[in-house]
Amino acid sequence: MGDFWKEAAAKLLEPFPLEDIEMRIGSRTFDHKKGLLLAYISNRAVMNRLDAVFGINNWQNSFTIADKGVLCALKVREPGTEEWITKEDGSSFSDLAEFKGGISGAMKRVLVQFGGGRYLYDLPQSWVALKLGTCRKNCDKCKGEGGSYPMADEEERIRATFPQWALPAGATKAHWIDDPEIQMAFYDFIEKNDVKEDEYFELFGIEKSMREYTGTRKEAGELLKKFIEEKAAKEEKEKAA
């Protein structure tokens, strides 16, 4: 293997930025109250990675439509050469956008053949609570109830717990407290309710910052609300004594 292909293989294997990672539900429990959350890359991220590694003139894709899905053939070459390497993979039609979803799925799968996004299969399994939404398959369990989709805070929690090896070099784990608007609202709420620094540090089990907290924003809010209510009740009791 020449130097170009060694370098290309390493670049293809690099983790994707978290903003390029999407989530979907795979298996569900019998009652559809929990689902297995699966991470995958967006089709846009696939094309961007191919452009970055090979250049826009050095990769090609073609699709074959079958009865139940799509087969994608992806060809890549070293810039300045005429020798193409081809790999193929396929995907069934999507429940939402059959044709478009099938093409997109096949494209993502064939990149895995070259190593891109393969690490996502090694992520720890994450079973999450589901909320009512629009059932893609309109199955008997979901008819009349709107089906089940992953709760937003559960997706947020999973993203925040991606292991370091699943993040790009130099990246830090995502955390809901990093959002400036959320951060301002959170600390304004703490100040407004006169929660002392040592109190919320102890409450959330942290030493220096909220980035150490592993719960979701919703869980943090519920914990804080309960703490304030209990603190107010205690103060009222002391006044009455």
Structure tokens at 22: 């999407």
Enumerate domains of the chain plus CATH numbers. Answer: 3-174 (3.30.390), 175-241 (no CATH)
Query: Do residues 149 and 133 make contact, with C-beta atoms less than 8 angstroms apart?
Result: yes
Tens digit of pLDDT for each residue in 202-225? Answer: 888 888 778 788 788 888 888 888
CA distance 27 to 80: 45
What is the reported pLDDT for 134?
43
Strongest mean pLDDT among 134-138, 158-162, 237-241 = 237-241
Task: Read off the pTM.
Answer: 0.66
- Backbone φ and ψ of 167, nearest 5°: -115, 150
Indicate the average pLDDT of the chain: 82
Residue 7 reports pLDDT greater than 50: yes
